[in-house]
Amino acid sequence: MTSPVLLMLNRPSREAEPHEPGAAAFTSVAPSAAQVTVRDLGVTRGDGIFESISVAGGRAQALEPHLARFAVSARMLQLPAPDLDAWREAILAAIDEHDDVPESYIKTVLTRGVEGDGRPTGWVYMEPSADFRRARAEGIRVITLNRGYATTVERELPWLLQGAKTLSYAVNRSAGREAAARGADDVIFVSTDGYLLEGPTANVVLRFGDRLVTPPTDIGILAGTTQAGIFAFAEGLGMDTAYELVTPDDLRAADAAWLVSSVRHAAPVRSVDGEDRALDRELTDAINTFLLSRRD
């Protein structure tokens, strides 16, 4: 059985002191051993950020976009800016240390650390991915849920941190449980003013003819690294792409729909609120083949 890999960063940000002066930039440690104090604000408050990065063929996919988004999330939370060179080096070291498997993922985590200490906590964790082949091939059932705020939230209520990838995932996990209770696999959130937002862990992509559409990133949703890659791929096929406000009616009228994310990749939506819809198997297969083979 493949063992996970865990690397703890000694100085995750150059804006803070290292945990061990003079020590290496990161250390490989036993994932089963205690590494984070119970007083860490990432544990007690969910005060931190993370990224999940797919690894295939021994390469981290969309590494630079993930690192850039990591830095944006840190800035939104007013965390010390991550030392991206150190994080990149640790990510590549984790890949070298991990067994070669068809699909795996890396999670980078940066917390505010122990309250009053001034030194953030950071680690890189890697393990094999779950088997998402069935979701990619057969599709997923989704429900729509009201997220409780309008598309103006990012502009009017920036302290809600919409658009940052934070450790505060209680609402997202609760939405997943609600989906399961209703016999569905996932959720697409809807704003109070009636527009599609995103899934708890994925972006929404719709196809209308030869055109792909996703909600814009200034309405309180996370900018998607996988969605951006899919748009680049589609444009290479001669398709048009756009960031537009879309509604639940648009979702039902679309020729195809997907929830897309870094590890599951493109999961086609086969039903919405119990109503079956068609799958675009050919384009789904092409997208997932691209995502698993890209070397950016």
If pLDDT is split at 50, 70 and 90, which confidence band does 106 have? very high
Mean pLDDT, rounded, for 13-21: 97
Distance CA 193, CA 206 (A): 20
Mean pLDDT, rounded, for 111-137: 97
Mean pLDDT, rounded, for 114-141: 96
If pLDDT is split at 50, 70 and 90, which confidence band does 124 have? very high
Name the nearest CA neighbour of 292 among 198, 224, 226, 212: 226
Mean pLDDT, rounded, for 54-82: 96
pLDDT digits (tens, 9 = 90+) for 239-261: 999 999 999 999 999 999 999 99
Q: For position 30, what pLDDT does the model report?
A: 96
Q: Element (H or E) spanning 29, and its range?
A: strand 26-29
Mean pLDDT, rounded, for 203-217: 98
Residue boundaries of the structural domains of the chain? 5-128, 133-293
**Residue in this structure with the two tokens 């060179």, named with its chain if needed:** 85
- Report in angstroms the alpha-carbon separations of 188 from 115, 117, 228, 260: 35, 39, 19, 11
Q: What is the pTM of this model?
A: 0.95
Name the nearest CA neighbour of 42 among 64, 3, 12: 12
Pick among 2.60.40.2550, 3.30.470.10, 3.50.20.10, 3.40.50.1820: CATH of 5-128: 3.30.470.10
Residue 86 has pLDDT above 80, yes or no: yes
The percent of residues above 70 in pLDDT, for the chain, comes to 99
pLDDT digits (tens, 9 = 90+) for 260-278: 999 999 999 999 999 999 9
Please give the CATH topology (third level) of the domain spanning 133-293. D-amino Acid Aminotransferase; Chain A, domain 2 (3.20.10)
Asked if 5-128 and 133-293 have one fold, the answer is no
Q: For position 24, what pLDDT does the model report?
A: 95
Q: For position 294, what pLDDT does the model report?
A: 82
**How many Cα neighbours within 13 Å face the side chain of 196?**
31
If pLDDT is split at 50, 70 and 90, which confidence band does 295 have? confident
If pLDDT is split at 50, 70 and 90, which confidence band does 14 have? very high
Q: For position 165, what pLDDT does the model report?
A: 96
Q: What tokens does 266 get?
A: 């493109």
If pLDDT is split at 50, 70 and 90, which confidence band does 2 have? confident
The percent of residues above 90 in pLDDT, for the chain, comes to 97
pLDDT digits (tens, 9 = 90+) for 154-192: 999 999 999 999 999 999 999 999 999 999 999 999 999
Residue 57 has pLDDT above 80, yes or no: yes
Mean pLDDT, rounded, for 109-124: 97
Report yes or no: 257 and 270 within 8 Å, Cβ to Cβ.
no
Q: Which residues pair with 106 in a beta bridge?
A: 53, 126
Q: For position 20, what pLDDT does the model report?
A: 96
Residue 195: other Cβ atoms inside 10 A? 19
Distance CA 144, CA 50 (A): 25
